[in-house]
Chains A and B, each alone.
Chain A
Amino acid sequence: MTAGIDLGHPQAQAIRSDEDVVRVRQLVRAVAVAVKLSLVDQTKVVTAASELARNTLVYGGGGAVEVTIVDNGRRKGVRIVFADSGPGIPDLDLALTDGYTTGGGLGLGLSGARRLVDEFGIETSAATGTRITVTKWSR
């Protein structure tokens, strides 16, 4: 699957539909394999990406994702940035609470995804939308 992807550069993928969420999963999987994450870590980061991509679609009204290989000198990792220009998240603390949902889901998307990755950053405002950055490092 990695054959068609030039991993030297950040990979971008629009999130406009259900099928795009599937594409995001496949893209993240390919990059996670390329940086040699363990099988469990691959599964964790792909699952997190799936949750966040769906959030981008459902709550952000669509957006885009960018997947990059990062290297801190000792370890390699996958960094994924989800950006939308939706209404933003009014109460971030609440949104990061297990079980809280406005979309009829299980309320595990944001809080669960945060537990599956090593680094989790979020910027949100009503004016600029939401931008979530997650990173998973190889062990």
Chain B
Amino acid sequence: MALSTEETGRLVALLGAQADRVTSRWTEIVTSSLRGRLSQAELRRQVQDLHSAIITTGEQGDFDLSADNAAELRAALSELSRGRARQGFSATETSISVFALKDVLAELVQESDGKGALHDYVAFAKLVDEMGLFTFDSFVRTRESLIADQAEQLLELSTPVVKLWEGVVAVPLVGTLDSARAQVVMERLLQTLVDTSSPYAIIDITGVPAVDTQVAQHILKTVVAARLMGADCIISGIRPQIAQTIVALGIEFGDIATKASLADALRHVLRLTGVETARRQPRRDA
């Protein structure tokens, strides 16, 4: 969808002739729609950027949003929607910054009242629609990448692997273990075993709300993989109701050591590695 050379010329003339008035009116409409959530000065700057990008595009050739001469305009629109998406504005609030131009154009065309005014307005309005849709698209893209980033961060946050003792690492699992998370946890744990040269890992499931066959599968696979690498895993933090589910579902943990608490698991590992104090101390206290 492109404007003809004549239409482009008239658009540039229309917007260029009264540049100040156009941007002021445009800013006014946008400001009222956003109800003061962005400062007038900031909005005016954005509107001026768009305005000058439109003029530049028109001066360099026929107006076509997908053509080379519109690169600057596309960049300006993308930047606008990226900014709005990051600041938490809705899609409507974002695209209205572009659609406001239609109102301005309507007023200008009406004033000029020349021959073919209606024809011009329809052509210009189509162009503004196209710009609006472009804005909308890049708004959605930005939001999607924001969501993906956040999901990744959440994944990172929720799966720490900590070193408990020389040669002992622990991974406290918190929250629901879906397949993607289980995979991340598994890889992170195994990599930490290599990096720290730790032959023991404790998988603590105190914070896991429910254990079903799938979660159990993931844990079992991790344990088997760790064994292949030369490390042993202990599962701790099995709450009573989880123990019941495990038995009810017929999940076999085989010869994998399971302990009620992280402390028990650590004590078990320390005993295996021959650390004496860990074994005697609690008995004397008891």
- Complex Cα distance A139/B187, Å? 15
On chain B, the residues within 8 Å of A139 by CB distance are 180
**Nearest opposing residue in chain B for A40, CB measure:** B187
The number of chain B residues touching the other chain, given as a range, is: under 10
**Chain A residue at minimal CB-CB distance from B183:** A40
Number of A residues near B (Cβ < 8 Å) is 2
**Which B184-199 residues sit within 8 Å CB-CB of chain A?**
187
- Residues of B with C-beta under 8 A to A40: 183, 187
**Among residues 18 to 48 in chain A, which have CB atoms less than 8 Å away from a CB atom of chain B?**
40
Cα-based distance from A139 to B180 in the complex (angstroms): 10
Contact indicator per residue, chain A 99-139, by CB within 8 Å of chain B (1) or not (0): 00000000000000000000000000000000000000001
B160-186 vs A, Cβ < 8 Å mask (1 yes, 0 no): 000000000000000000001001000
**Alpha-carbon separation in the docked complex, A40 to B180 (Å):** 13
A47 to chain B, nearest CB (A): 13
Minimum CB–CB distance for A130 against chain B, Å:
30
A51 CB to closest chain B CB (Å) equals 17
**Chain A proximity of B191: nearest CB distance (Å):** 10
* Measured CA separation A133–B255 after assembly (Å): 38
Chain A residues, CB < 8 A from B180: 139
CA distance A40 to B190 in the complex (A): 12
Which residue of B has the minimal Cβ distance to A38? B187
> From residue A124, how far is it (CB to closest CB) to chain B in Å?
30
Minimum CB–CB distance for B272 against chain A, Å: 29
Q: Which residues of A contact B183 (CB under 8 A)?
A: 40
- Bound: A139/B184 CA distance, A: 12
> In the assembled complex, how far is the CB of residue B154 from the closest CB belonging to chain A, in whole angstroms?
16
Considering only CB atoms, which chain B residue lies closest to A139 in the complex? B180
Q: Which residues of A contact B187 (CB under 8 A)?
A: 40
**How far is it, in angstroms, between the C-alpha of A34 and the C-alpha of B187 when the chains are bound?**
21
Q: Can you list 3 A-B contacts (CB < 8 A)?
A: A40-B183, A40-B187, A139-B180
Q: Which residues of B contact A (CB under 8 A)?
A: 180, 183, 187
User: Which 3 pairs across A and B sit closest by C-beta, in order of nearness?
Assistant: A40-B187, A40-B183, A139-B180
